[in-house]
Amino acid sequence: MVTPENMPAEGGGQRGPLFDRNGVPGASSTPVDMDAAIVLLGAGVTAITHPLLYVKLLIQVGHEPLAPTVGTTMFGRKVLYLPGFFSYARHIIKVDGKSGLFRGLSPRVMSSAISTMVRSKVKQAVPMEDAEHVSNRDDLKTSLRKVVRETSHEMVVQCLSRIATHPFHVISVRCMAQFVGREVKYRGLFSCVAKIFQEEGVAGFFVGLVPHVLGEVIFLWCCNLLAHFINTYAVDDNFSQAPAVRSYTKFVMGIAVSVLTYPFMLVADLMAVNNCGLAAGLPPNSPIFKSWVHCWRHLSVQGQLFRGSSFFFRRVPVAVTALE
């Protein structure tokens, strides 16, 4: 579950060359230069992807302002198709203008920058041992301890980064969720901080933190261990393309595992907006959840644990007789 907020700052804390205007590495590059470049890159990616995450958040909270359309699957089954990303985005533009697609962007940019700095500082304070070179199948079989050590280090970095940036995630989610009830409760970054602290105290900045951290920890361990075992036992060294296959294994496993851990992210987002005074987190739009476990159980019973995981081909099965 790599997002712009938790993009790994591989250069953080390590001295490396930056390129000048002529494409020549700068001789005076410092870790600060690398961090600054990563912060700018993260801000750019965050801004570009924000409309996607905005639409996703509104779908997650169950806001469906557009009527579904009747369609037919390739097997001839009649279904109701919910609006996809482009239809939803056009609706937001119609209501709030093009700038409306970037509601809640500033706290996400702040979150991305803080995540980069925290990762850099943690890696400087707790450096990971040099990676061992793995050259053949025998080495891979004996490298499980190395994978566990690297994953543990990555987990510590990720958890500290999530704790530091979660308050900004809560602010961003609430700013975006205001679209549902057309509220103006959360506007500026500083006023949001004051409002949350006044109404909920420090705990208000960390609602939904537990499922978020759990989801990311499970993702890290499953992704790294599955990639290790597949590279060790499923990829034959005699295969000429074995190195290339192994280089993509972790990427493919990341996609697969992110689908399985998506419910944790959904629950975290719903808890961030639940019972905070916004229509999106109050009845009749949403029950008031006692805990994130209560939220998980409710979604499970409703069959909605993967709500918002897809932007396209969202459909609601209906009885064929009702459409004829």
Distances (CA, A) of 152 to 118, 132, 231, 232, 247: 17, 16, 20, 20, 21
Q: Are 80 and 70 in contact (CB under 8 A)?
A: yes
Q: Among 84-93, 115-124, 195-204, where is mean pLDDT lowest? A: 115-124
Q: How confident is the model at residue 324, as a pLDDT?
A: 41
The reported pTM is 0.81
What's the order of all strands across the beta sheet hosting 78-81?
69-72, 78-81, 315-317
What is the crossing angle of helices 144-181 and 31-60, to 10°? 50
Q: How confident is the model at residue 74, as a pLDDT?
A: 72
Residues in the chain: 324
Tell me: pLDDT of 318 over 90: no
DSSP one-letter string for 107-155: HHHHHHHHHHHHHHHHHHHSPPPPPPP--SHHHHHT-HHHHHHHHHHHH
Q: How far is CA 294 from the centre of its chain?
A: 22
pLDDT tens digit string along 155-211?
999 999 999 999 999 999 999 999 999 999 998 889 999 999 999 999 999 999 999
Q: How confident is the model at residue 32, as a pLDDT?
A: 67
Smallest CA-to-CA distance from 220 within 250, 175, 181 is with: 250
Q: Which domains does the chain have, with CATH numbers?
A: 4-323 (1.50.40.10)
**Residues 6+ positions from 129 with CB-CB distance below 8 Å:** 149
**Structure-token pair, residue 59:** 């779908």
**Structure-token pair, residue 262:** 């998506």
Q: How confident is the model at residue 237, as a pLDDT?
A: 64
pLDDT band at 31 (very low <50, low <70, confident <90, very high): low
pLDDT tens digit string along 5-29?
554 444 433 434 444 444 444 445 5
pLDDT band at 271 (very low <50, low <70, confident <90, very high): very high
**Residues 6+ positions from 130 with CB-CB distance below 8 Å:** none
Supply the Cα-derived Rg of the chain in whole angstroms: 22
Q: How confident is the model at residue 253, as a pLDDT?
A: 87
- Cα separation, 203 vs 292, in Å, equals 14
- Cα separation, 117 vs 97, in Å, equals 34
